[in-house]
């Protein structure tokens, strides 16, 4: 047991950071430089393999909103880029280093610039809080943990693969998935703060997520405890609480 504790203590000491706005402690096994390099590589692949929208007005609109959010992010070191992809999937994401992608599918759900800013702030928040790197670090630690415990418990070699798979499922449901939902709530909170600082109407975040809830009705969703995203009603309730904490609601 002492050996196991020493291993996990060593992993924890690899890197402890804090998230912006929420000030939550994080466990990191990936450096910012590594993360930035991954983001740049993935962004290039996405541009090469996706259909970039030819709608110049739409591209300029998303870029304008993105630049306003980026200006209050505190990350002038990011090489910010904003790209609209012609895809009906309701999706958007921000890669490490500030490479932001919006699918036309999610833009159809947004009713105004404030709602686009809601999505923009949320996705940029994921990058600012380094959620991708944190999730990768947790997965790496989980894999190492499975190997260490198997050795400590003298699990026969022929069963170690099965044991690792079972341990992986347990850690996924018991640790990584709940943290993924934490990441989503955190991105909501940070994102609302960013859109507020950029001068957008934070109350429109509620309307956007209500639109998302309506759009997703009828679709098959996993139980909340197996989902990486919080339930829509839970998310909207939390967003109302975040907005109420702002100095002045716009």
* Residue 123 annotated to the active site: yes
Beta-carbon contacts of residue 112 (< 8 Å; ≥ 6 apart): 204
* Angle, CA 219 vertex, CA 111 and CA 192 arms, to 5°: 40
Of the listed 35, 123, 134, 184, which one is catalytic? 123
Instruction: Output the CA torsion sign for 33, 81, 128, 103.
Output: negative
The SS3 of residue 132 is helix
Q: What are the backbone angles phi and psi of residue 21, rounded to the nearest 5°? A: 70, -60
Neighbours of 173 (CB within 10 A): 12
Instruction: Output the CA torsion sign for 202, 207, 212, 217.
Output: positive
By annotation, the residues acting in catalysis are 123
């Amino acid at each position: 047991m002492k050996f196991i504790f020493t291993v996990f203590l060593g992993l924890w000491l690899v890197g402890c950071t804090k998230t912006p706005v929420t000030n939550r402690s994080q466990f990191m096994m990936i450096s910012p430089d590594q993360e930035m390099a991954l983001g740049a590589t993935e962004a290039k692949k996405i541009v090469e393999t996706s259909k970039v929208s030819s709608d110049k007005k739409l591209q300029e609109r998303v870029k304008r909103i993105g630049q306003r959010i980026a200006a209050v992010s505190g990350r002038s070191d990011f090489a910010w880029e904003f790209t609209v992809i012609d895809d009906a999937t309701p999706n958007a994401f921000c890669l490490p280093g500030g490479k932001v992608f919006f699918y036309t599918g999610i833009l159809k759900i947004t009713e105004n610039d404030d709602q686009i800013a809601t999505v923009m702030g949320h996705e940029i928040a994921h990058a600012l809080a380094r959620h991708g790197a944190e999730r990768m670090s947790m997965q790496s630690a989980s894999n190492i943990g499975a190997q260490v415990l198997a050795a400590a418990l003298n699990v026969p070699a022929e069963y170690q693969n099965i044991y690792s798979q079972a341990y992986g499922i347990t850690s996924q449901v018991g640790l990584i998935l709940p943290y993924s939902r934490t990441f989503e709530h955190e991105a909501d909170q940070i994102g609302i703060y960013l859109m507020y600082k950029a001068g957008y109407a934070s109350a429109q975040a509620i309307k956007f997520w209500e639109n998302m809830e309506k759009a997703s009705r009828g679709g098959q969703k996993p139980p909340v405890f197996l989902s990486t995203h919080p339930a829509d009603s839970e998310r909207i309730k939390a967003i109302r609480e975040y907005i109420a904490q702002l100095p002045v609601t716009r």
